[in-house]
Amino acid sequence: MGLKRGVSLSAGLRYKGPSGYLTYILHRIGGLGMAIFITVHLLASFIGGRTGGFFNGIYENWAFQIFIFFCVLFHAINGLRITILDLWPKLLDYQKEAIWLEWAVFIPLFGISVFVIMNSALGG
Amino acid sequence: MEITIKIFRYDPEKDVRGHYETYVVEGDENDRVLDVLELVKGKSDGTLAFRRSCAHGVCGSDAMRINGRNHLACKTLVRDVGANITVEPVLGLKVKKDLIVDMDPFFDNYKKMLPYMINESPLPADGRERLQSPEDRARFDETTKCILCAACTTSCPSYWANGEYYGPAAIVTAHRFIFDSRDEAAGERLQILAETDGVARCHTAYNCTEACPREIKITKAIGEVKMAMITGKLD
């Protein structure tokens, strides 16, 4: 007798992990976002017509583009951090600093990109 | 001071699912969360079930989620978590009653790591100790500190998703023997850890390192095992 071992998504997300846990979650969201983008893109290409146009409208929307750019950029930079730490485990002593460095690289790059996307979407 | 503690409760003989009950007790900011649980059990509700033994951070019995993060109740002071405390069982293991979880799967994974010295070579000429330099001993010093409380394994999202994953604590145990210069079964352990449920399931969420009450750099130990597996070198 006893409760099952399964951990629900909400229970997992409510766990108060450190900064590494946030990047872990965002990395998964990034991967999922890219999968959604590719699916929508393929559907738009293959279906055609009004339905295809609908899917086209989704991924050409500037808000969706900002989301996808977040997914791609974060997934790439975080993946690079993980790869470097995996190849040189001694650097794991500086895991927290590595995460701060990751945000220091990500935030300005993402900020500039959001500005460019919004400027061209709303200004032109 | 007045301490409000919300505790996850589950009685397998009465309840279909768990629920929370809140208790208010008089305590001190220097009390440990374990002391508060003892106060609740002693003065408010004798049916409350939780594990405890040494109460000094050595036996590893009282790992639980305190305010959403894994801690040992005997090493967590009220002043560090505040007067409003939520206590829940660790995640990823079956809850047997209240804060008590079924530790069998955890220890099953531990046993798979061959957690004992393996050395088939003849004893030294004097028939006594297999000597080791201080440098060789220091190589695995960090991972000898594990008390098998399961705070790390039950904080790991990979373990939550897949209970077959050996988990951080088992890998820490493997590390302790893999990098011991007197042991001769490093290859065998690396083979076990190279399986589907081995180190490849670690996605460096880093929860384990933060949860460890012995401050073992678990993610680093797992990283070293990964490298040993890839390069075949133990230095």
B contacts of A19 (beta carbons < 8 Å): 206
Q: What is the DSSP string of A37-93?
A: HHHHHHHHHHH-HHHHHHHHHHHHSHHHHHHHHHHHHHHHHHHHHHHHHHH-GGGGG
Q: Which of B101, B118, B146 is the last residue of a domain?
A: B101
Q: What is the DSSP string of B3-15?
A: EEEEEEE--TTT-
So what's the pLDDT on residue B218?
A: 96
The interface predicted TM-score (ipTM) is 0.88
Q: Among B96, B76, B75, B95, which residue's Cα sits nearest to residue B86?
A: B76
Q: Please tell me whether residues B87 and B150 are part of one structural domain.
A: no
Place of tokens 């649980």: B37
Q: Say how many domains are in chain B.
A: 2
Tell me the CATH number for domain A20-123.
Answer: 1.20.1300
B contacts of A14 (beta carbons < 8 Å): 68
A16/B contact by beta carbon, under 8 A: yes
B37-46 long-range contacts (CB < 8 A, ≥24 apart) are B37/B5, B37/B7, B37/B73, B37/B87, B37/B99, B40/B5, B40/B7, B45/B21
Are B148 and B216 within 8 A, CB to CB?
A: no
Percentage, residues of chain A above pLDDT 70: 98
- Residue B19, φ and ψ in degrees, nearest 5: -145, 175
Q: Please tell me whether residues B74 and B124 are part of one structural domain.
A: no
Q: Which of B81, B101, B121 is the last residue of a domain?
A: B101
Overall average pLDDT of the A67-72 stretch: 95
B224 → chain A, closest CA residue:
A89
So what's the pLDDT on residue A67?
A: 94
Looking at the predicted structure, is the pLDDT value of residue A48 above 90?
no
Domain that holds residue B41: 2-101
Q: Please tell me whether residues B185 and B152 are part of one structural domain.
A: yes
Q: Please tell me whether residues B117 and B188 are part of one structural domain.
A: yes
Are B34 and B74 within 8 A, CB to CB?
A: yes
A contacts of B207 (beta carbons < 8 Å): 15, 17-18, 20-21
The bridge status of strand B2-9 relative to strand B84-88 is parallel
Helix axes A95-123, A19-47, angle to 10 degrees: 40
So what's the pLDDT on residue B59?
A: 96
So what's the pLDDT on residue A124?
A: 59
B contacts of A89 (beta carbons < 8 Å): 220, 223-224, 226-227
- A27, exposed or middle or buried, with CB in 10 Å at 0-12, 13-18, 19+? buried
CA distance A10 to B160: 12
Successive 10-residue mean pLDDT values, chain B, 235 residues: 96 94 96 97 96 95 97 97 97 96 97 96 87 94 97 96 95 97 95 94 93 96 94 84
Q: Please tell me whether residues B91 and B146 are part of one structural domain.
A: no
So what's the pLDDT on residue A1?
A: 64
CA distance B126 to B204: 45
A124/B contact by beta carbon, under 8 A: no
Candidate from B96, B204, B210 with C-beta closest to A82:
B204
- pLDDT-based confidence at A2, cuts 50/70/90? confident
Q: Global pTM?
A: 0.90
